[in-house]
Each structure stands twice: as C-alpha cells, then as structure tokens.
Amino acid sequence: MEPIVKLNDIYKTYQMGDIDVPVLKGVSLTVAQGEMVALMGSSGSGKSTLMNILGCLDRPNSGSYWLDGEEVAQLSANQRALLRNRKLGFVFQNFNLLPRTSALDNVAMPLLYSAGHISDRNARQRATEMLGRVGLQERINYEPSRLSGGQQQRVAIARALVNRPSLLLADEPTGNLDSRTSQEVLEMIRQLNQKEGITIIMVTHDPAVARHAGRIIHIHDGVIVDGAFSGVAEPHEAPAKSGISPEKEKEAK
C-alpha cells in the first residue's frame, strides 16, 4: 500500500544574516495509512522544521514530499493553504482556540475556508458531530475560558478533524496539560487512531507520551536517527517498538 506520507531526501537551510544554517540534512521517512507515529528529538534537532514541512507550512529547499499521493514540496503558498485545509489537521501545544468564541464556532472555523461551499447548517452539524466524538456534546456553546485545559485540547482536536483530514499533526499536544488530563487526551488520540484509522504524527519530547505511538522517529541534528520507515520493508523497525534507549531519553530532555 502506498504510504500516506513519503519524504525523500529533504534539505532545509535557514539564512541567519550571511550564515547558512542547515536544519534538515537529507531527511527521508514514510508514514503508512492508519499509523500513529511519534517524532522525538531535542530542541534544535530540526523536529519543528520537519513538522512545519510535514504540515505544509514551509517548503523544503530540496527533496520531495508526497502527501496522499500528491507531490507537494514545491507548491505555492495559496496551493499549500488549500492543501492544509483539505488534508491536514493541526493540534497545538497551546490549543490556539479563538478567545470568546463558542466551542462550536471554533470547531467550524476551518470549514469557512473550505473550497466546496458548505452551508451554515451543514457546518454546524459537522462541528456538533465532531464535538460529540471528542465527548464535548454538552459544551458546544461554551467559550474556551470556561473549559478546562483537557477540554480545550479536545475542542482543538475536534477542530483538526472537522475537515476529515488524511493526516493529523499534533505538536506537543500534552505539553500544557497535567499528567491526568494528558492521559485523557492521549487516550483520545490513540482511540482516534485505532478505532477510526486516522493517521497521526505527534511531536513530543516526553518518552511517556511517545510510548503511546506505534512507532517513534528520532531526529538528531537534522538527520533521522531511527524509525524513519514503517512496516516490513524497513530494517529499522525493531528498536522503534522496543522503546527508548537511555541515551535517547537524555537527548529528549
């Protein structure tokens, strides 16, 4: 089966004044349909940059990126915006909900930018359904300030899923939550993955969080250390399943 995400030899260099700072140095990885992958790495390792490229927020300098069978590495800003709308869902560390806006409106917000015009009633219906799926059907008219952190993150997840994306990108989804609500949210993400078959890539530096994933990709200094390829085709599958070595754990901290 064709992988949903396939990165091939991605290079990304930032210019800081006159100096070129290479951030990604030939990253290749694949993620198969229905997988849940954790992306781990220390700060400065390039995981945020990789996440931005995966999320089509940024363009690599070279290399190719197939998302759901489409080459997307060199699309224009507008084309990428459309692609993000159709195929990608984002969950952020700090939730990024619109303040003083009901949970329902927050969840329906991405539908505003959808190309196929969805009627108001349809949009509300879909947003309500999504909130039901994350267990917040009672709170659709609550504003974020009246929701707990865990609930806010669940609203954010509902928002990420409202456009039925092929890939859900979660950037430290539990970074701002206490351990109990973290567990709740992670459980929810895992359920989405297992029961509904949503492909998930999750950035984290917490090995305990990463353990929920089916596979862990370690990135260090702009190159992938292990876990880049999924399934039987790749030889590096075993260590990903077995957990994290103490050395890697230190790096993550």
Partner 1 sequence: MKGYRIIQTAIKALRRNPMRAMLTTLGIVIGVGAVIAMMEIGAGSSGAIRKAISSMGANVLNIRPGAASSGGVTFGAGSGISLTPDDCEAILRECPAVRNASPLVHTRAQVVYGNRNWVPTFIDGVSPAFLDVQNWTIEEGESITNRDVLNSNKVCILGKTLVRELFQGESPLGKEIRIKNVSFRVVGVLKTKGANMMGMDQDDIIIAPWTTIKYRVTGAALENTNQSSSSSSSSSTVNTLSNLYPGGQPSLYPERSEIQAADNPMPVRFASIDHILAAARSTADIPAAIRQITAVLRERHHIRPGQPDDFSIRDMTEMTNTLSSTTTMMTNLLLCVAMISLVVGGVGIMNIMLVSVTERTREIGLRMAVGARSRDILRQFLVEAVVLCLVGGALGILLGHGGSYLVRLFLHWPVETSVTAIIAAVAVSAGVGIVFGFYPAWKASLMDPIEALRYE
Contact residues for partner 1, defined by CB under 8 A? 52, 55, 57-58, 77-78, 81-82, 84-86, 90, 92, 96, 98-101, 105, 109-110, 112-114, 117, 120, 159, 163
Q: Minimum distance between the CB of residue 200 and partner 1, rounded to whole angstroms?
A: 16
Query: Residue 124: helix, strand or coil by DSSP?
Result: helix
Q: Which is nearer to partner 1, 48 or 183 (CB)?
A: 48
Q: Which of 179, 171, 180, 138 is nearest to 155 (CA)?
A: 138
Q: Which of 57, 56, 59 is nearest to 14 (CA)?
A: 59
How far CA 77 is from CA of 48, 66, 106, 117, in Å, comes to: 19, 17, 24, 21
Q: Minimum distance between the CB of residue 232 and partner 1, rounded to whole angstroms?
A: 34
Residue 110, token pair as written in the block: 């991405």
CA distance 97 to 156: 7
CA distance 192 to 248: 28
Residue 189 carries which side chain, given as an amino acid letter? I
> How many residues would you count in the chain?
253
Q: Minimum distance between the CB of residue 174 and partner 1, rounded to whole angstroms?
A: 18
Q: Which is nearer to partner 1, 109 or 223 (CB)?
A: 109
Q: Minimum distance between the CB of residue 185 and partner 1, rounded to whole angstroms?
A: 19
Q: Minimum distance between the CB of residue 100 and partner 1, rounded to whole angstroms?
A: 4
Specify the DSSP class assigned to residue 205: S
- DSSP lists the bridge partners of residue 37 as 201, 215
Q: Which is nearer to partner 1, 77 or 238 (CB)?
A: 77
CA distance 134 to 156: 10
Q: Which is nearer to partner 1, 81 or 223 (CB)?
A: 81
In a 13 Å sphere around the CA of 122, the CA atoms on its Cβ side amount to 8
In a 13 Å sphere around the CA of 25, the CA atoms on its Cβ side amount to 12
Q: Which is nearer to partner 1, 17 or 99 (CB)?
A: 99
Chain Cα centroid distance, residue 80: 16
Q: Minimum distance between the CB of residue 85 and partner 1, rounded to whole angstroms?
A: 2
Q: Which is nearer to partner 1, 56 or 209 (CB)?
A: 56
Q: Which is nearer to partner 1, 30 or 49 (CB)?
A: 49
Q: Minimum distance between the CB of residue 212 and partner 1, rounded to whole angstroms?
A: 24
